[in-house]
Amino acid sequence: MNAKLQCCVIIMFLIALAMGCGGFNCTVTGKVTFPDGSPLTEGEVIFESPTLMARGTIKKDGSYAMESGELKGVPKGTYQVALGGFQFEQITFSGVEGAAPKITPLEIPVDRKFLSTAKSGLACEVNGRTKYDITVEAPQ
């Protein structure tokens, strides 16, 4: 490879890194909040495309960062977005042998439409370093 071509390859690689897409994965971060600005403090943000599913754990301040497998970020593309990772029921045991466990349904903190990429109405276009904030509604 001649010196001019090598220089071009290095420059293109550095540009990709600067855009947040080193190793072909783009950095995607954001915050999940309710309309009043208070953060959603649990769960996961899920990005889904025909070929990939990525998740980002929601922290106590509502912030998240996407990961695909062991890699940070996601490849460029358009993703349908949903929320998940909520506990739907609590199972308790009485301690009495042979007794059935008690199953208590738990209320999830967001409207159920956000649990499905098909119903959430959320989509994100990743084309470099991307900040994608999400506003959710409380259960109806």
SS (H, E, C) the chain: CCHHHHHHHHHHHHHHHHCCCHHHEECEEEEEECCCCCECCCCEEEEECCCCEEEEECCCCCEEECEECCEECEECEEEEEEEECCCCEEEECCCCCCCCCEEEECCCCCCHHHHCCCCCCEEEEECCCEECCEECCCCC
Has residue 60 been placed in a domain?
yes
Has residue 140 been placed in a domain?
no
Q: What CATH number did the domain enclosing 66 receive?
A: 2.60.40.10
Instruction: Count structural domains, the chain.
Output: 1
pLDDT in tens, the chain (140 residues): 565 545 444 444 434 444 446 556 899 999 999 999 999 999 999 999 999 999 999 999 999 999 877 778 899 999 999 999 998 778 888 888 888 888 877 788 999 999 999 999 999 999 999 999 999 999 98
The domain containing residue 52 runs over which residues? 3-135
Q: Which residues are CB-contacts of 32 (< 8 A; sequence separation ≥ 6)?
A: 39, 40, 43, 45, 58, 62, 64, 83, 133, 134, 135, 136
Prediction pTM value: 0.76
In this structure, the strands spanning 130-131 and 28-33 are: parallel
